[in-house]
């Protein structure tokens, strides 16, 4: 169930990035800015389009809609990280329960063996 929720949150985060890109593209088209040419110029340097959006949103004429999308994306990523921590805790609990079960079975086997030894001693 947690994996399914994680997948949904990943899709939502990706959608927020796309919305931020669209807001930035729309604003830059109004300003006569060519978004694709800037991506092409920055791509050999190794900057991703997400990095470009972040830089553009930090400029003096930032688009509040794009920034809100990136903030929501960050919140989704925090929720994804929280789900990962929950999954680790659940896994740890499963390991502890398996260990406790093994210990219980061992103690039961030792008791059965001790009872059998007592029965053998009484029989002789």
pLDDT per residue as tens digits for the range 53-63: 655 555 545 56
For 71-89, what is the mean pLDDT? Answer: 93
* Tally of domains in the chain: 1
Residue 108: pLDDT band (50, 70, 90) is: very high
For residue 11, the enclosing domain spans 2-123
Residue 92 or residue 40, greater confidence: 92
pLDDT: is 49 or 69 the higher one?
69
Q: What is the pLDDT of residue 104?
A: 97
Task: Report the predicted TM-score, pTM, of the whole model to 2 decimal places.
Answer: 0.57
The pLDDT of residue 32 is 58
What's the confidence (pLDDT) of residue 86? 94
The mean predicted confidence, pLDDT, of the chain is: 81
Residue 44 has pLDDT above 50, yes or no: no
User: Among residues 11, 6, 15, which one has the least CA distance to residue 69?
Assistant: 15
- The pLDDT value given to residue 123: 87
């Amino acid at each position: 169930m947690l994996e399914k929720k994680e997948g949904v949150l990943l899709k939502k985060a990706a959608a927020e990035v796309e919305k931020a890109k669209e807001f930035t593209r729309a604003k830059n088209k109004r300003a006569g800015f060519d978004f694709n040419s800037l991506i092409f110029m920055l791509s050999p340097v190794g900057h991703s389009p997400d990095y470009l959006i972040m830089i553009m949103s930090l400029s003096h004429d930032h688009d509040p809609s794009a920034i809100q999308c990136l903030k929501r994306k960050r919140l989704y990523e925090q929720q994804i990280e929280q789900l990962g921590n929950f999954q680790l805790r659940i896994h740890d609990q499963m390991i502890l329960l398996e260990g406790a079960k093994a210990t219980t079975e061992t103690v039961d086997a030792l008791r059965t063996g001790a009872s059998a030894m007592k029965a053998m001693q009484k029989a002789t």
